């Protein structure tokens, strides 16, 4: 059996609040195992990679949200 090599550098759980209906959504994103990809919450918040992520509220489909919190999860 072959060992699977992880292609994920880091995993983050974000809490977002919709600008329209104020619904709070939890979303998990995974940073790829690339040299310039963020590997900590600080790097994620400072990166342009986070700004390129898209969002659509599950309640009203509004594409604009406020980031409330970010938590780094363990990559297994």
Burial 3-30 (b: 16+ CB within 10 A, else e): eeeeeebbebebebebeeeeeebeeeee
Q: What is the pTM of this model?
A: 0.81
pLDDT of residue 35: 86
pLDDT in tens, 10-68: 999 999 999 999 999 999 999 988 888 899 999 999 988 888 888 899 899 999 999 99
């Amino acid at each position: 059996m072959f060992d699977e090599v992880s292609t994920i550098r880091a995993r983050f759980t974000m809490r977002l609040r919709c600008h329209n209906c104020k619904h709070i959504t939890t979303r998990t994103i995974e940073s790829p195992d690339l040299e310039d990809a963020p590997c900590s919450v600080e790097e994620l918040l400072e990166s342009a990679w986070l700004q390129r992520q898209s969002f659509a509220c599950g309640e009203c489909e509004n594409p604009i949200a406020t980031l409330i919190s970010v938590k780094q999860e363990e990559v297994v």
